[in-house]
Amino acid sequence: MNHPVNHPKDLRGHIAALEALGDLKRVRREVSWDLEAAAITRLSYERTAPAPLFENVGGAEPGFRLMGAPASLSSAPGKPLARVALSLGLPPELTAAQLVDTLAATRDLPPVPPRLVPRDQAPCKQNVLLGEDATLERFPIPRVHEQDGGRYLNTWGIIVARTPDGSWTNWSIARIMMIDGKRMTGLVIPPQHIGLIWQEWVKIGKPMPYALVQGGDPAIPFVGGIPLPDGVDEAGYIGALHGEPVEVVKCELSDLEVPAGAEVVIEGHLSVERSAVEGPFGEFAGYVPDEASHQPVYTVECITHRDAPIWPIVAEGRPVDEFHTVTGVGIAADVLHDLRAAGLPVTTAWSPLRAASHWLVLTVPANWRELLPDTDSDTDTDSDIDSQEFVHRIGEVMAGGSRGGRLHARVFVLDDDVDPADDTDLLWALATRIHPTDRAEVWHGPIHPLMNCYHPDERAAMTGPVVLHDGLQPAPGQGRMPHSSFAEAYPAPIRRRVLDHWDDEA
C-alpha cells in the first residue's frame, strides 16, 4: 500500500488542493448563515458544481467564513471522486475500487498513534475564549433546512470522547444542534460510538468531557464517519493511512487531545440526562422527517479557534452529498475487509451513491467457485444452488460481526464484469440479473434507525430485515451469455477499424 504524499494537513490545505484542481468557488458577496449558505451548498451538490467557500457571512464576526461541500462529488472532468480522494490525501484520479481497497487495507496496518505538540505549535490555540466570551453566537452557525429544529453546527466535525477508564478515545461524527450560545444537543444513540462511550459515563453518574472539532486534517471527519470496530482509535487509523502521526494538542479544560490544525474547538461536558429536544433534521435519505427526540445537553465552556476560522458545512439531503460519499466508501471498505478476512473471494464492494446509502453491491470474480474455501463444487451441477451457498456465506459474515454488514437494506451480489460505481452498468445488471422474487435471502436483526425504507416501528425498535440478492451468473461454459456490447459483440479487427475512423469527418 502506498502512503499519501504531501497530503493536506488541515482544511486550508484541502481548500488549496481543490482550488488548484478548479473545484472551488470563492463566494465574495455577503451570504446569510440563515439558509442561504446551505441553499447554495445544496444546489452545488445537485449541479455537481465546485465547492463554495463563503468569504463574507452576514451576521458573523468579520473574517469568519463557511465552506460547503468539502467531500462530495467533484466538478473536475473525469475525476468524480477527487474531493473524496483528496480528503484522504490520495491522488484525485483514484477509482471507487481503489479508494475502497485503500481503506480496507489500512484496517490491517498497525496504528500510528498521534503526536502531541506544544500549544505554540497548534494553530487552533490562536484564540482562547473562556467564560462569557465562549459563546456560539460569535460564529456563523448555519440553519441548513427550513424545516430543521434549529441551527446545526455539527455536520462535518468530529466529537472527541474517551471512556472513563481511558482505554478508548473516539473521534466520530454525529449531528449537533445549537440551543443557544452556551448549550447544544445532538443525537447520542447506541450502537453509535458516541452513544456507547456516553453510556459508560452515565453508569458512573458523571457528565462526559467532550471536544467538538471543526476543520483540521480533511481525513479526520472522513474517518470519523466510517464504521471502524469498537475500541479502535480513529487517530491511529489516520496515522496508518498517512504513514505519519496526526498532530494533536491538549484541550484547555480536560486531558482530551484534539487536532492541532483544527479551525474551531468547543469544549465542555455532555449531560447524563436526556433533557433537550433535538430535531428534526433533513437526513441522508433525502427527506426532512417531523420527528424529534430527547437527547443530552452539551455545555459550552471553552472555545479555541484559528484567526479567521473556516466552519465546514454539509447541507445533507438527497444524493449525492458527504453522507453518501463518506458512508458509502467507508461502509463498503469495512464490509470488503471483513469478507476478505473470512476468506471469501470478493473483488470489490460499493454503496451506489445515488441510492442514499440504502444499497450495497458486492462483485466477485468469475472463478469464485474455484476460490471459495471448503466447497466441493464437483458435487454441485446446478450453478444456482452453489451461488446461493456463496451468498449465504456472505450473509453469515455480514450478520455475524461485521460492523457495516447491516447498515444497508439491500445487498446485491454480482459478477465483476459489472462496475458497481458506474450507474449505467449497475442499473442494467440489476434489471437483468436480479429475479423479481427468487434467489433472495432475508436476514432479520439490527438496522440503522434512520433508513427511510423501513416502517416507523422497525426504525424505533432498530430491528428489521436486510435482504441479500443473488445476481450471480452461471459458471463460464455452463450457460453464461456474453454481453451484446461493443467490447464483446464484435471481433477485435472490427473494433480497431471502428475506433480508428471514429473521428473522421463525414
Residues 6+ apart with CB under 8 A from 385: none
Q: What CA–CA distance (Å, rounded) separates 185 from 191?
A: 18
Could you tell me where the DSSP H helices lie in 414-489? Answer: 423-433, 456-461, 486-489
Question: Residue 217 — very low, low, confident or very high, per pLDDT cuts 50/70/90?
Answer: very high
Rounded to the nearest angstrom, the gap between the alpha carbon of residue 98 and the centroid of all alpha carbons in its chain is 16
**Does the pLDDT at position 374 exceed 80?**
no
pLDDT in tens, 258-313: 999 999 999 999 999 999 999 999 988 888 888 899 999 999 999 999 999 999 99
State the CATH class of domain 11-313. mainly beta
Neighbour-count burial of 39, counting CB atoms closer than 10 A to its CB (0-12 exposed, 13-18 middle, 19+ buried): middle
Q: What CA–CA distance (Å, rounded) separates 159 from 267?
A: 10
Which set of grid coordinates corresponds to residue 154?
A: 455539527
Active site residue 505: no
Q: What is the mean pLDDT of residues 174-194?
A: 95
Supply the pLDDT for residue 4. 53
For the chain, the structural domain boundaries read: 11-313, 342-486
In the chain, the percentage of residues whose pLDDT exceeds 90 is 86
Q: What is the mean pLDDT of residues 439-461?
A: 93
**Does the pLDDT at position 383 exceed 80?**
no
In the block, residue with C-alpha cell 430535531: 279
Residue 229: name the closest of 329, 324, 334 by CA. 334
**pTM for the structure as a whole:** 0.92
State the CATH class of domain 342-486. alpha beta
pLDDT in tens, 141-151: 999 999 999 99
**Does the pLDDT at position 379 exceed 50?**
no
Rounded to the nearest angstrom, the gap between the alpha carbon of residue 28 and the centroid of all alpha carbons in its chain is 29
The single-letter DSSP state of residue 95 is -
- Does 288 or 81 have the greater pLDDT score? 81
What region, left, alpha or beta, does residue 357 occupy, with left being phi > 0 and alpha being psi -120 to 50 degrees?
A: left
Residue 339: name the closest of 370, 371, 367, 366 by CA. 371
> Rounded to the nearest 5°, which phi and psi values hold at 486?
-55, -40
Rounded to the nearest angstrom, the gap between the alpha carbon of residue 233 and the centroid of all alpha carbons in its chain is 16
Q: What CA–CA distance (Å, rounded) separates 78 from 354?
A: 18
Q: What CA–CA distance (Å, rounded) separates 171 from 104?
A: 19
Supply the pLDDT for residue 170. 96
Cβ atoms of 219 and 15 closer than 8 Å? no
Supply the pLDDT for residue 148. 96
Cβ atoms of 272 and 206 closer than 8 Å? yes
- Cis status, amide bond into 92, omega within 30 of 0: no
Question: Residue 375 — very low, low, confident or very high, per pLDDT cuts 50/70/90?
Answer: low
**Does the pLDDT at position 424 exceed 80?**
yes
Distances, alpha carbon 308 to alpha carbons 35, 51, 179, 262, in Å: 21, 19, 24, 12
**Does the pLDDT at position 108 exceed 60?**
yes
In the block, residue with C-alpha cell 460492523: 403
Which set of grid coordinates corresponds to residue 14?
A: 484541502
Q: What is the mean pLDDT of residues 110-123?
A: 97
Question: Residue 450 — very low, low, confident or very high, per pLDDT cuts 50/70/90?
Answer: confident
Kind and range of the H or E run holding 267: strand 262-270
Which set of grid coordinates corresponds to residue 393?
A: 456465506
The single-letter DSSP state of residue 323 is I
Cβ atoms of 86 and 92 closer than 8 Å? yes
- State the number of CA atoms in the 13 A half-sphere of 366 facing the CB: 11
Q: Which is catalytic among the residues 263, 278, 283, 316?
A: 283
Q: What is the mean pLDDT of residues 20-31?
A: 98
